[in-house]
Amino acid sequence: MRVFQFCSSASLEKLTGRKAHNLDELLELVKTCSSSSIFYHTFSAFRKLREVQTPYTNDFAVWIARDLNEEALAEKLLAIDLAEYNTIESLRARILQILEDYRSENPPLFERTAAEPFYLYSLVRFVYLTDKFAYNLSSFRQLLDTISTDSIYYHFIESRLQTQLQTDDFSNWMQENPDYQELAEKIRKIDMNIHTLEELRVRIGETIDKYL
Amino acid sequence: MSIPRLSDYKDVVGRDVVGELYTLASHVGNRSIKMVNSTAVGGGVAEMLHRVVPLLNELGIETRWEVIKGGADFFDVTKAFHNALQGKEEYFEQEVFKTYLAYNEMNYQEMSFDEDLIVIHDPQPAALIKWQKKRKNKWVWRCHIDMSHPNQQVWDFLRPYVELYDAAIFSSPLFSPQLKIPQYRFYPAIDPLADKNRELDEDYIDSVLQKYEIPRDKPIVTQISRYDPWKDPVGVIKAFKMAQRHVDCRLLMVGDKAADDPEAEEILTQVKEAAGDDPDIKIIFLTHSIPTEINAFQRASDIVLQKSIREGFALTVSEALWKYRPVIGGAVGGIPAQIIHGYTGMLVHSAEGASLQIRSLLQQSELAKRLGENGHQRVKDEFLITKLLKRYLLLLLALDHPGKSTVLLD
């Protein structure tokens, strides 16, 4: 089993000066904005919204529900499971598809002015190594209690954009050991959409404990 | 109480959060920052710098803070600029701009700017960069005020200087003008270990309420805000009176007035008239508030209101959320950034809406508790001084990698 060095990530938010006053304008923003803007309003938003137990997985859905009262469209967007996307472009395509399908059914709705505009952000994202190394499952388990929630978020959710895998880093690492195939499968099945990061930490820890 | 050190924050924000700051600081390396503003005391910016500067130094970022000097004529000009940039209509003679530039040049000549990053706070020293012809370091303008509708004459004058900077920082996209340089968003932050926010003994909270003759026999609904029409104190009383028909509770209004605000007395009279002789409404007018007492009022409250109809960032919301209070806030300015409606508090648009939420939260203790807990988490994630320190570390790294959206640090 290779050594697992824990990483973490952090973001600095940037203002773009671009905004949408209605759904047509939002559609245009989603089509033309940078991938870091899509990342900010989906992966980065998910990390924050999940911690305060909202059902929202992205900022687009929050705005559509709050400022346009268009709950049905918001629901379609919040049903997007980020775990299924390992590239920003595939995620952008999915959001566009939902918006365009909805527009074809409700064209006038897309011209309705929202209570407040949607402000487009982007970000600078930093991925960095920490000084924590796991040499085996036992040391991994000990370190799990000490790493930051940012680190949990990075390995369990965000890193799939780096690895292009449809899985988290933890189960991917465990899978390297023939004895931990079942454990890896159980870790992979933990639903990141349901738990806060602290709850994820607990669930992952409890799952590993059964194999130590 | 001694000045808190970074290690003291481990108990309130978590060991991992402080550890993360040290890890990031190690990636930043030996760097230096100079903060420049126009006042050493009074106001939120000075209050924040007093805390951020020593903590950045603890992280190994050599940080200095200098205050620009000026005569009364300079500060008269900058005060007028401040109001104009926040939207006040006023015409300025050319002399005014000359005074502003003369003092900026004088300060530039007396100061040195050798640090890796120069952070200039607010409009008063914004033109210092005019005389820095060649530079190897980075200059960033941190604007703490709402510049969404600036007076065009002042902005046309200031903008060319602002666009000489490497970047600008605003508290919200609502407050930022169009600029040619990159713009970052830094939320303002509260200090969880400051007197206004730290944990208090129940005995002390009781003593403060006794001092102001506020019985704790009923749930307490509180708004702590300046007596200013934009904070809608009369609307708060209206909302309370509507709610009172359904739930037995007390209203506590605590506020001071801006020193230069002749309207405050008038507003206070209106508030007293609206309250009438209702024994359940307590109006406290402070000329000088004591932070621990404000803290005690917030902690003694069952609900905290910030029913503003126009607002800056309103960090009073974060202060209350940090104390696990359910907060009802007007959906204006920076309040929706802190309150996600229904999850970290309740947003309202009218006195009627506020009244309904008071009734709802006083009668649904589980909901109120959940909002308080989520609100606390929201503040922990975004609006604490530890997050502000992190943003400064990330800013140093971002300026090293201009134009990059993802940076892999070795």
Distance CA B237, CA B223 (A): 10
Q: In this structure, what token pair is assigned to residue A175?
A: 């899978």
Q: Using alpha carbons, select from B366, B257, B254, B361 the residue that is nearest to residue B302.
A: B361
Residue B259, pLDDT above cutoff 70: no
Residues present in chain A in total: 212
Q: Extract the residue ranges of chain A whose pLDDT is less than 70.
A: none
Report pTM. 0.93
Given a contact cutoff of 8 angstroms between Cβ atoms, the answer to whether B161 and B129 are in contact is: yes
Q: Phi/psi at A126 (nearest 5 deg)? A: -120, 130
Nearest residue on chain B to A126, alpha-carbon basis: B407
- Residue in the block written with tokens 């309003």: A41
Interval B105-163: pLDDT, tens = 999 999 999 999 999 999 999 999 999 988 999 999 999 988 888 999 999 999 999 99
Q: Are A34 and B405 within 8 A, CB to CB? A: yes
**Which residues of B fall within a CB distance of 8 Å from A10?**
20, 24, 390, 394
Compute the nearest-CA separation of B140 from chain A (Å).
14
pLDDT higher than threshold 80 for residue B328:
yes
Residue B260 has pLDDT above 60, yes or no: no
Q: Does A119 touch chain B (CB under 8 A)?
A: yes
- Decide if A7 contacts B407 (C-beta within 8 A): no
Which of B81-95, B141-155, B158-172 tops mean pLDDT? Answer: B158-172
pLDDT at B147: 85
Rg of chain A over all Cα atoms, to the nearest angstrom: 19
User: How many CB atoms are closer than 10 A to CB B398?
Assistant: 24
- The percent of residues above 90 in pLDDT, for chain B, comes to 84
Distance between CA atoms of residues B185 and A40, nearest Å:
13
Q: Do B178 and A35 touch (CB under 8 A)?
A: no
| Partners of B345 in the β-ladder | B341
Q: Is a pLDDT exceeding 80 seen at residue B1?
A: no
* Distance separating alpha carbons of residues A192 and B406, to the nearest angstrom: 23
A54 neighbourhood in chain B, CB within 8 Å? 340, 343
Per-domain boundaries in chain B: 6-189+384-400, 202-382
The token pair that represents B260 in the structure block: 């230069």
CA dist list (Å): A69 to A109, B83, B253: 11, 36, 33
Contact B201, A40 (CB under 8 A): no
Residue type, B49: L
Percent of chain B scored above 70 by pLDDT? 98
For the segment B239-265, the average pLDDT, to the nearest whole number, is 86
Superfamily of structural domain B202-382: Glycogen Phosphorylase B; (3.40.50.2000)
Do B202-382 and B6-189+384-400 have the same topology in CATH?
A: yes
Distances (CA, A) of B51 to A78, B58, B121, B385: 39, 11, 15, 8
pLDDT digits (tens, 9 = 90+) for B271-326: 999 999 999 999 999 888 899 999 999 999 999 999 999 888 899 999 999 999 99
Residue A192, pLDDT score? 85
Q: How high is the pLDDT of residue A64?
A: 96
Residue in the block written with tokens 């059914």: A105
Dist CA B359 CA A73 (whole Å): 31
Helix (H) or strand (E) holding B184: strand B183-185
Which of the residues B23, B26, B335, B383 would you substitute to probe the A interface, choosing the one with the greatest number of A C-beta atoms within 10 Å? B23
Q: What is the mean pLDDT of chain B?
A: 94
Residue B288 CB: number of other CB atoms within 10 A?
5
Contact A27, A100 (CB under 8 A): yes
Give burial (CB, 10 Å; 0-12/13-18/19+) of B403: exposed
Which CATH homologous superfamily contains domain B6-189+384-400? Glycogen Phosphorylase B; (3.40.50.2000)
Locate B311 and state its tokens.
């607002």
Q: What is the pLDDT of residue A195?
A: 87
pLDDT computed for residue B93 by the predictor: 97
Query: Who's near B334: CB < 8 A, 6+ residues apart?
Result: B171, B172, B174, B187, B188, B311, B312, B313, B314, B315, B317
The answer to whether the CB atoms of B23 and A34 lie below 8 A apart is no
Q: Residues with Cβ < 8 Å from B272, sequence gap 6 or more?
A: B283
